[in-house]
A = this chain, B = another copy of it.
Amino acid sequence: MKSLTEYLTFNTKSRRAFINITSQIEKLVRKSGIKEGLCLVNAMHITASVFINDNEHGLHNDYEKWLEHLAPHEPITQYEHNETGEDNADAHLKRQIMGREVVVAITDGDLDFGPWEQIFYGEFDGRRSKRVIVKIIGD
């Protein structure tokens, strides 16, 4: 069994952002030399997500609006977590909806994706350096 471990770092200018990381993951799959296996990609921070969906700007705006409706940032006093001095309780909730991780099949040396699948980093409490791990195992 072969494996590859790599870390990506993000530091978004805005509190919330969606970043397409598909091509970075594809390069790592090729670097690994693994032909058949699994590729785990997960946020290492608990106010961020890695998820798979459409690379369409309007949809990302819909996600932003929808997540803000389901778990509003303001008023920050509505969350007990924010009594610790944080203001990011909503980001912990939003990340549960969008998920921490994706596991992707590797077939014949590439991500085995449907026609519209793209991998995104979802940031809900940015403006600081945060990491994503890519772990690939297989043969």
Measuring CB to CB, which residues of chain A are less than 8 angstroms from any residue of chain B?
1, 3, 5, 36-38, 40, 42-46, 51-54, 56, 58-59, 61-63, 66, 70-71, 79-84, 89, 92-93, 95-105, 107, 112-117, 130-131, 133, 135, 137-139
In Å, the complex CA distance between A102 and B96 comes to 12
Contact partners of A81 in chain B: CB under 8 A: 54, 56, 58-59, 62
- Chain B, residue nearest A58 (CB): B80
Q: Establish whether residues B63 and A137, one from each chain, have CB atoms under 8 Å apart when the complex forms.
A: no
B46, B58, B84, B98: the one contacting A117 at CB < 8 Å is B46
Q: Establish whether residues A137 and B135, one from each chain, have CB atoms under 8 Å apart when the complex forms.
A: no
In Å, the complex CA distance between A93 and B139 comes to 35
- Chain B, residue nearest A51 (CB): B96
Q: Establish whether residues B103 and A89, one from each chain, have CB atoms under 8 Å apart when the complex forms.
A: no
4 tightest A-B contacts by CB?
Answer: A44-B114, A58-B80, A105-B135, A59-B81
A124 to chain B, nearest CB (A): 12
- Chain B, residue nearest A53 (CB): B46
Q: Establish whether residues B137 and A138, one from each chain, have CB atoms under 8 Å apart when the complex forms.
A: yes
Contact partners of A66 in chain B: CB under 8 A: 71, 93
Contacts A53-B46, A71-B66 hold; do A5 and B105 have CB atoms under 8 A apart? Answer: yes
